């Protein structure tokens, strides 16, 4: 297993009118090449901030990173230059957001948007020195970009892409728009695709098609995927690994089967009880009593202690470190010190 992303003890704060929100509280997470990692956890627990820190898309301010590292292929993206960030976004990391309308401009055709995006990526490459010495004419460049756009649209399942490419976003259904956005996200041949709740706005049958498409891309074009979802059923069906987040920490991570069969963290156990019996894609996270704490004044130690039935004084005193409980299975809970339940 070769790591593509290694987030190490990452802290992130957001400066707001109400105070400083301690949004990430020492997040540690590894994504190996070829993984389809599912990230789950209740709303506001830091899934998007963690994910968007990788292509450095979290606006600073309001965000600041007091400490920690975000390594992409071994390089800390929090330390690279603006030019390197552009290159990272142009050809290493693709992002798909929840709402397929926000990613597309209603006044331009799909052709205009895709060709412009492909050309912008190429220009980012030229700016970094790649491909210098062979610069085709602008018209040739546009034609080649259009051909590539049509190929991409075909790959993501848009019928008759040679014709459809000249239509506007409103002429596409929600699912088709999401396919176009996936095509755009993979147009720079990225190594990592971040999909932040890519199907939440779609109906159930279309959701399944989009998720199947993402899984196919993982196999066919060597993509590594970080999939954020509220739906554990989706993770169970699609992902090889799971990371569970709670109030700014990854509290448990490991192979999907292992986590589903043998959840260790009291929070993960609560989430698993929320999966419907048929393990369908309709399951959502409702299984844990109580609410996520305010991140402006978060609880001390393990932030889950205010909702945990196993709470002890030690939980309130310090953040428990990640423990390895099985191969590739880690949990941050004092119940499992040295890999075995503490007596």
Ligand X SMILES: Nc1ncnc2c1ncn2[C@@H]1O[C@H](COP(=O)(O)OP(=O)(O)OP(=O)(O)O)[C@@H](O)[C@H]1O
Partner touching 46 among Mg ion, ligand X, none, CB below 5 to 8 Å by kind = ligand X
Report whether 232 contacts 271 (CB < 8 A): yes
Residues that bind ligand X (CB under 6 A): 14, 16, 21, 23, 41, 43-49, 59, 62, 295
CB of 97 to ligand X, least distance (A): 10
Closer by beta carbon to ligand X, 23 or else 186: 23
Does 253 interact with Mg ion (rule: CB under 5 A)? no
The CB-of-50 to ligand X minimum distance in angstroms stands at 7
Question: For residues 145 and 247, which CB has a smaller minimum distance to Mg ion in the complex?
Answer: 247
Output the CA torsion 35→36→37→38 (10° steps): -170
Residue nearest to Mg ion (CB): 48
Quick one: what does residue 167 bind among ligand X, Mg ion, none, with the CB cut-off 5 to 8 Å set by partner type? none
Report the nearest approach of ligand X to the CB of residue 44 (Å): 4
Binds 43, which of ligand X, Mg ion, none (CB < 5 to 8 A, cut-off by type)? Answer: ligand X
> Shortest Cβ distance from residue 171 to Mg ion (Å)?
29
Select the binding partner of residue 21 from ligand X, Mg ion, none (C-beta < 5 to 8 A, by kind): ligand X
Residue 50's contacts (CB-CB under 8 Å, 6 or more residues apart) are 7, 10, 24, 27, 29, 39, 245, 250
Distances (CA, A) of 173 to 77, 101, 108: 36, 10, 16
Report the residue number, 61 or 133, with the smaller CB distance to ligand X. Answer: 61
We find the least distance from the C-beta atom of residue 152 to ligand X, in angstroms, to be 27
For ligand X, the closer of residues 41 and 161 by Cβ is: 41
Closest to Mg ion by CB, 48 or 224: 48
For ligand X, give the closer residue by CB, 50 or 122.
50
| Pairwise CA distance, residues 296 & 229, whole Å | 24
CB of 303 to ligand X, least distance (A): 12
Binding to Mg ion by CB under 5 A, coded x per residue (else -) over 36-75, reads ------------x---------------------------
CA distance 275 to 112: 43
Question: In terms of DSSP H, where are the helices of 72-203?
Answer: 82-91, 110-127, 138-155, 161-164, 174-185
For the CB of residue 99, give the shortest distance to ligand X in the complex, in Å. Answer: 12
329 binds, among ligand X, Mg ion, none (CB under 5 to 8 A by kind): none
Of 16 and 300, nearer to ligand X (C-beta) is: 16
Query: How would DSSP label each residue in 211-268?
Result: HHHHHHHHHHS--EEEEE-S-HHHHHHH-SEEEEEETTEEEEEEEHHHHHHS--SHHH
Q: Is there a contact between 5 and 299 (Cβ–Cβ < 8 Å)?
A: no
Q: Both tokens of residue 211? A: 């998720």
Rounded-to-integer distance, Cα 41 and Cα 64, Å: 22
Q: Is 12 in contact with 65 (CB distance < 8 Å)?
A: yes
**Residue 231, interface with Mg ion (CB under 5 A)?**
no
Three-class SS string for 16-76? ECCEEEEEEEEEEEEEECCCEEEEECCCCCCHHHHHHHCCCCCCCCCEEEEEEEEEECCEE
Site residues for Mg ion per CB under 5 A: 48
């Amino acid at each position: 297993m070769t790591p593509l992303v290694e987030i190490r003890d990452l802290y992130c704060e957001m400066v707001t009118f109400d105070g400083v929100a301690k949004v990430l509280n020492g997040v540690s997470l590894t994504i190996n090449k070829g993984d389809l990692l599912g990230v789950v956890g209740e709303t506001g627990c830091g899934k998007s901030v963690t994910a968007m820190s990788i292509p450095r898309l979290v606006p600073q301010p309001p965000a600041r990173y007091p400490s920690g590292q975000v390594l992409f292929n071994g390089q800390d993206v929090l330390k690279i230059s603006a030019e390197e960030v552009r290159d990272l976004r142009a050809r290493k990391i693709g992002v798909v957001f929840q709402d397929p309308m926000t990613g597309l401009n209603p006044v331009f055709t799909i052709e205009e948007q895709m060709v412009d995006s492909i050309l912008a990526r190429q220009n980012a490459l030229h700016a970094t020195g790649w491909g210098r010495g062979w610069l085709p004419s602008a018209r040739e460049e546009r034609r080649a970009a259009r051909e590539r756009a049509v190929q991409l649209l075909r790959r993501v399942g848009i019928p008759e892409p040679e014709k459809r490419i000249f239509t506007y976003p409103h002429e596409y259904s929600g699912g088709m728009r999401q396919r176009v956005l996936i095509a755009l996200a993979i147009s720079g041949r990225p190594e990592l695709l971040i999909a932040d709740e890519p199907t939440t706005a779609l109906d159930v049958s279309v959701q399944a098609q989009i998720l199947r498409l993402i899984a196919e891309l993982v196999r066919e074009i060597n993509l590594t995927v970080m999939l954020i979802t509220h739906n554990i059923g989706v993770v169970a069906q699609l992902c090889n690994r799971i990371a569970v987040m709670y109030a700014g920490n990854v509290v448990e991570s490991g192979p999907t089967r292992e986590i589903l069969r043998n959840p260790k963290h009291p929070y993960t156990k609560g989430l698993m009880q929320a999966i419907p019996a048929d393990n369908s894609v309709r399951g959502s996270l409702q299984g844990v009593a109580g609410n996520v704490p305010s991140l402006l004044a978060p609880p001390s130690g393990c932030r889950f202690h205010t909702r945990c039935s196993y709470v002890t004084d030690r939980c309130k005193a310090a953040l428990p470190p990640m423990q390895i409980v099985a191969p590739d299975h880690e949990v941050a809970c004092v119940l499992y010190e040295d890999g075995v339940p503490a007596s």
